[in-house]
Structure 1
Amino acid sequence: MNKEKLSLRLYQLLILILVPVLLLVLIIRSFSQREYRQRLSERFGWLSSNVKTGGILVHAASVGEVIAAKPFIDQLLITYPDLPITVTTFTPTGSAQVKKFYIDKVQHCYLPLDISFCVHLFFRLLKPKAVVLMETELWPTLIQRCHKSNIELLLINGRLSAKSLKSYKKLSWLITPALNKFSAILCQSADNVDHFIEMGADADLVKNFGNLKYDISVTDELQNKISDLQHYVSEHRRLLVVGSTHQGEEIPALNAYKQLKADNPELLLVLVPRHPERFSAVTQLCVEQGFNHITRSSKQAITDDNDIWVIDTLGELLPIYALAEICIVAGSFSDVGGHNPLEPALFAKPVIVGENMANFKEITQKLKTANGIVQLDHNSELAAKLHCLLADQNLAKSVGKNALDVVLANQGATSKSIETLQRLLK
């Protein structure tokens, strides 16, 4: 047995040993989000008997990846109207996002655990012509199955940060052979190209195609959602939206809101937690801090007495950004590394982010160069930066317009990715 096969076997053995732990994790998570204990058969590769075979599989792990992949999936449905398109996720929130976007336009299930017999069963039932993975979804057993079965394998929006590269190098015996089984690796920026090549990927496989996240647009469906949400908010309220918050990130926003509220009584703070299991905790935090809040799930209109609107529903961050006067993109006030600032930029909104935008380093730099974003040097600056934008409407509009210009100037990754897939499937 050669070194590569031995490495893969050791990895598969380790994953198999960890199955009880993985199941325990799913059960524990299901205490706060019961969806984690549902459809467990899919985690082991079992699909319904009516699944359509011979199509294209796109894997987008969670909500962020599903949103980023949407333009690509939309174009797939147009380019291959006669092929079944299957979209897989790992998380229930990602699953809910797929269902919200596509209803019955695509097939959907969870991607199985990266265990040999699970992956084998999954591919035997689905029989895809091509598999498309997003960003850093590198699953050695799945990749090996595609290679052995002559299934075209494409990585789109490829991302490998300097931090991940350092970690992956410790597993180079496993990761490097997997990378070179891809038909093509399409990266979102030049530094990611360098990182994949440094990781051992063949330079001929790796291309810089730009970031799919720029390929967003205001669809009719999104415009309808925006119009629906507008009915809940009076025109005189000025919305300060804090999107995709994680544990501890609401506190800086609440503290800043306290400082601004007296001089801006029409200000409405909108908190959008990233994960559903935190909805109740965020609501309770608002109560503890003495704010009069209202939840989106209550479906009640905002009154002048309401200080905070907690969006405790899924799939409404983008239309909420459209209603905002200023948008704060969270994940950047903690060690998470930030979330997508292009989503509010689509609506020409001024965007503020915290210190840590490691996940969107290239995008943040482009926005900063164009004066299309405000990044804090320290999170304590939030209230001061908000005050400047609230007081200077021309400045706020300028930052927002510059951000939208960056979005429009960098679109095109979707069409280039589709063209690559078309060449592979000829």
Structure 2
Amino acid sequence: MRFTLALVLYRLLFLLLTPLLLVVLLLRSTNHPAYRKRLLERLGILEKNLEPNGIVVHAASVGEIIALKPFISQLLIYNPEMPVTVTTFTPTGSAQVKKLFADKVQHCYLPLDNIISTTMFLKRLKPKAMVFMETELWPNLISQCKSNQIKLLLVNGRLSDKSMRSYQKLAWLITPAIQSFDRILTQSQVNQENYIAMGATPEMCKLSGNLKFDVSLNNDVVTKQRELNSLMTEKRKIWLIASSHPGDEALVLKAFEHVKQQDSKALLIIVPRHPERFEQVAKLAQDAGNHVLKRSQNQLVSLNTQVWIIDTLGELLAACSLADVVTMGGSFSDIGGHNPLEPALFQKPVIVGPNMSNFKEILVQLMSAQGIVQLVENEDMPKALANEVLRLFTDETSAQILGSNSYKVVQANQGATTQSLTALQNLLKSPY
């Protein structure tokens, strides 16, 4: 009874908030015009050409889409008769779906979690199963799926201690949502224990490992790798900042001043996390006194270029191949870091900041294997970061060992994709 009342209140609140959320999307579109497009999809009004009676896989944005690529690719092979619809929330995630799968999958935005929009969404697609990833818990949509006997699978389940503290305050709403899943596959033992503490039964949970370990190089990455490499005119040391956030660039640019004092030929590559910040980051680098080139200019990176901004989509992984040292953005603030496994594919030494809370278990494994460098809180973080970069620039043996060790960790932990696929296939075969 309590959950029913809570769900009713949640549905009413979300319905009332929907106009405000649409306004937020429109405001965000001032810097990123793609947010004002396809607004009807946000309301659950979908294109009529979408085929029903298939499988819906939801991934919020770019990183999740990339992690799910092997899973979705295998899903298409195992279920050729079923349409697969991949949903996202962000325009960059949408672009990634189209780039990776073209017309092999159907695509639309996942609607806002109000009962009218989700009802239209489910009525149009009539999915046999819905797959959510990590911490994507939408109480209204999940409840409706359960009521409509749609199988629910959570893959790559992640519930950090920080998220759990927040969820516990909303346990009256979140716990029933968690209990609605038919199967929950978690990244680690800690995550599994947290889901069980939030109300999941041990029987519905299984430790599958992290899908993000199942990264691999495809032909597209190799092609982009060659394109980027062809633009390099000089042999020089390269430091790459992957998925940078506000605050990261200012710190890095200060550190780069120290690096340039020791190596005047050094090149800094910055890949901002969000496309709407491309111009802002380029200006920051210019204001710091650097000669800046943007990838979109498609010009040769001469010795005169000090900072190269990758202001294009889908080239981060390929850019890692150029680097001598990689630093993960978001790890010097409360963002919690980004996936350090991508540069590990190229056996590159990786430096991260003090906060890698989003990848705690991965960090522990990499640290145990001596496959990553983590900086501790420091009064002069720019100088500490610069010193570590310069050390790895000059000590090539240490850099090679770090890269090799991280690559071994990736290889040893692959297999979550297969387990996730098996779980979904078993759910599709089982009666409700």
> Which bin holds the TM-score, normalised by the shorter protein?
over 0.9
Conservation of the 8 A alpha-carbon contact between 1:294 and 1:308: yes
Q: 1:77 matched to which residue of 2?
A: 76
Q: 1:267 matched to which residue of 2?
A: 266
Conservation of the 8 A alpha-carbon contact between 1:26 and 1:37: yes
SS at 2:190 equivalent? helix
The alignment status of 1:398 with 2:397, answered yes or no, reads: no
Letter in 2 for 1:391: T
Q: Report deviation, 1:213.
A: 0.3
- For residues 20 and 47 of structure 1, the distance between their equivalents in structure 2, rounded to whole angstroms, comes to 18
Map 1:335-374 to 2 at 5 A.
335-374=334-373
Conservation of the 8 A alpha-carbon contact between 1:236 and 1:266: no
Q: Report deviation, 1:221.
A: 1.8
Q: Which deviations, in whole Å up to 9, do the C-alpha atoms of 1:259-298 show, x marking residues without a partner?
A: 1113323311000100011111101111111100100010
Q: 2:217 matched to which residue of 1?
A: 218
The alignment status of 1:421 with 2:424, answered yes or no, reads: yes
Map 1:37-56 to 2 at 5 A.
37-56=36-55
Q: Which moved more, 1:298-307 or 1:234-243?
A: 234-243
Map 1:93-112 to 2 at 5 A.
93-112=92-111
Q: Which deviations, in whole Å up to 9, do the C-alpha atoms of 1:348-380 show, x marking residues without a partner?
A: 000000010000000001000000000001334
Letter in 2 for 1:91: T
Q: 1:113 matched to which residue of 2?
A: 112
Q: 2:62 matched to which residue of 1?
A: 63
Q: Report deviation, 1:71.
A: 1.6
Map 1:119-130 to 2 at 5 A.
119-130=118-129
Q: Report deviation, 1:397.
A: 0.3
Q: Which moved more, 1:77-86 or 1:304-313?
A: 77-86
Q: Percent identity, aligned pairs only?
A: 52
Letter in 2 for 1:420: A
Conservation of the 8 A alpha-carbon contact between 1:129 and 1:152: yes
- For residues 190 and 317 of structure 2, the distance between their equivalents in structure 1, rounded to whole angstroms, comes to 28
Conservation of the 8 A alpha-carbon contact between 2:234 and 2:302: no
Q: Report deviation, 1:104.
A: 1.2
Letter in 1 for 2:352: V
- For residues 56 and 175 of structure 2, the distance between their equivalents in structure 1, rounded to whole angstroms, comes to 23
- For residues 256 and 350 of structure 1, the distance between their equivalents in structure 2, rounded to whole angstroms, comes to 17
- For residues 185 and 234 of structure 1, the distance between their equivalents in structure 2, rounded to whole angstroms, comes to 49
Cα 1:218/1:147, change in 2 over 3 Å: same
Conservation of the 8 A alpha-carbon contact between 1:332 and 1:353: yes
Conservation of the 8 A alpha-carbon contact between 2:237 and 2:393: no
Q: Report deviation, 1:220.
A: 1.6
Q: 2:152 matched to which residue of 1?
A: 153
- For residues 203 and 3 of structure 1, the distance between their equivalents in structure 2, rounded to whole angstroms, comes to 24
- For residues 322 and 289 of structure 2, the distance between their equivalents in structure 1, rounded to whole angstroms, comes to 25
- For residues 233 and 184 of structure 2, the distance between their equivalents in structure 1, rounded to whole angstroms, comes to 48
Q: 1:389 matched to which residue of 2?
A: 392
The alignment status of 1:204 with 2:207, answered yes or no, reads: no
Gaps of 5+ in 1: none
- For residues 274 and 334 of structure 1, the distance between their equivalents in structure 2, rounded to whole angstroms, comes to 14
Map 1:288-303 to 2 at 5 A.
288-303=287-302
Conservation of the 8 A alpha-carbon contact between 1:89 and 1:109: yes
TM-score by length of 1: 0.98
Letter in 2 for 1:385: E
- For residues 227 and 310 of structure 2, the distance between their equivalents in structure 1, rounded to whole angstroms, comes to 14
Letter in 1 for 2:398: L
Q: Report deviation, 1:235.
A: 4.7
Q: Report deviation, 1:29.
A: 0.3
- For residues 81 and 232 of structure 2, the distance between their equivalents in structure 1, rounded to whole angstroms, comes to 43
- For residues 283 and 356 of structure 1, the distance between their equivalents in structure 2, rounded to whole angstroms, comes to 25
Q: Report deviation, 1:78.
A: 1.7
Letter in 2 for 1:289: A
Letter in 2 for 1:393: E
Q: Which deviations, in whole Å up to 9, do the C-alpha atoms of 1:175-199 show, x marking residues without a partner?
A: 1111111010100000000111111
- For residues 292 and 361 of structure 2, the distance between their equivalents in structure 1, rounded to whole angstroms, comes to 36
The alignment status of 1:191 with 2:190, answered yes or no, reads: yes
- For residues 70 and 94 of structure 2, the distance between their equivalents in structure 1, rounded to whole angstroms, comes to 17
Conservation of the 8 A alpha-carbon contact between 1:42 and 1:110: yes
TM-score by length of 2: 0.97
Q: 2:163 matched to which residue of 1?
A: 164
Letter in 2 for 1:271: I
- For residues 338 and 8 of structure 2, the distance between their equivalents in structure 1, rounded to whole angstroms, comes to 36
SS at 1:266 equivalent? coil
Conservation of the 8 A alpha-carbon contact between 2:275 and 2:311: yes
Q: How many residues align?
A: 425
- For residues 218 and 31 of structure 2, the distance between their equivalents in structure 1, rounded to whole angstroms, comes to 33
Map 1:279-318 to 2 at 5 A.
279-318=278-317
Q: Which runs of 4+ in 1 moved over 2 A?
A: none
The alignment status of 1:26 with 2:29, answered yes or no, reads: no
Q: Report deviation, 1:6.
A: 1.0
Conservation of the 8 A alpha-carbon contact between 2:348 and 2:402: yes
Q: Report deviation, 1:237.
A: 2.4
Q: 1:411 matched to which residue of 2?
A: 414
SS at 2:202 equivalent? coil
Q: 1:258 matched to which residue of 2?
A: 257
Letter in 1 for 2:416: A
Letter in 2 for 1:304: L
Q: 1:139 matched to which residue of 2?
A: 138
Letter in 2 for 1:231: S
Conservation of the 8 A alpha-carbon contact between 1:32 and 1:277: yes
Q: Report deviation, 1:238.
A: 2.2
SS at 1:270 equivalent? strand
- For residues 248 and 360 of structure 1, the distance between their equivalents in structure 2, rounded to whole angstroms, comes to 20
SS at 1:425 equivalent? helix
Gaps of 5+ in 2: none
Letter in 2 for 1:10: L
- For residues 217 and 234 of structure 1, the distance between their equivalents in structure 2, rounded to whole angstroms, comes to 28
Letter in 1 for 2:404: K
